Amino acid sequence: MNHIAAIHVIKGQLRLTVDDYRALLQQLTGKDSSKDMTDTELLRVRAHLSQLAEKMGVSKPRPLPTHQQHKPGETTRTGYGRFGTFKIASPKERKVWAMWHDLGAKGKLDNPSGNALNAWVKRQTGVDQMRFCSDAQMNGLIESLKLWAGRETPPAEHHTGKKEI
């Protein structure tokens, strides 16, 4: 678990100055840099900052990470992002991303960006983003990408992602 990254995210949410942050680290662990801390010290700092963020209302209560193994395909874990928490991509979402990237690497896409993928997903499913797709829709996307990858030139309905020859 990358406690240092989580600590810095929470530090940003709390808007701590560098001096206040280092003083807090010194008080909690006797060290003024997170890079010098053990995992136990990092977890202590992370827990303390999380409690402060919850009390100040800048973050919702969430359990600290445990070292439990997750079942394959489980997508209930969350991470920390710039705008709060986000769901970690499911295996099918990662597969679609990988297939999309592969199509881009093979030159079958003009634009292999995330925005282009979202536009394609919207055309295929009517859903704004892949994370909102049902399991059946995800299966359809994967099958469409398999067909697209096997073709020499994509069909006309894939025109905006098609690379002109």
Segment 73-128, tens digit of pLDDT = 444 444 444 444 445 677 888 888 888 888 888 888 888 888 888 899 999 998 88
**Location of structure tokens 């292999």:** 112
Taking 90 as the threshold, does the pLDDT of residue 140 lie above it?
Answer: yes
| β-bridge mates for residue 87, sequence order | 78
pTM of the predicted structure, to 2 decimals: 0.43
SS3 track for 26-82: HHHHCCCCHHHCCHHHHHHHHHHHHHHHHHHCCCCCCCCCCCCCCCCCCCCCEEEEC
Taking 70 as the threshold, does the pLDDT of residue 142 lie above it?
Answer: yes
Tell me how far apart the terminal alpha carbons of the chain are, to the nearest angstrom. 46
Ranges of each domain in the chain: 3-86, 91-161
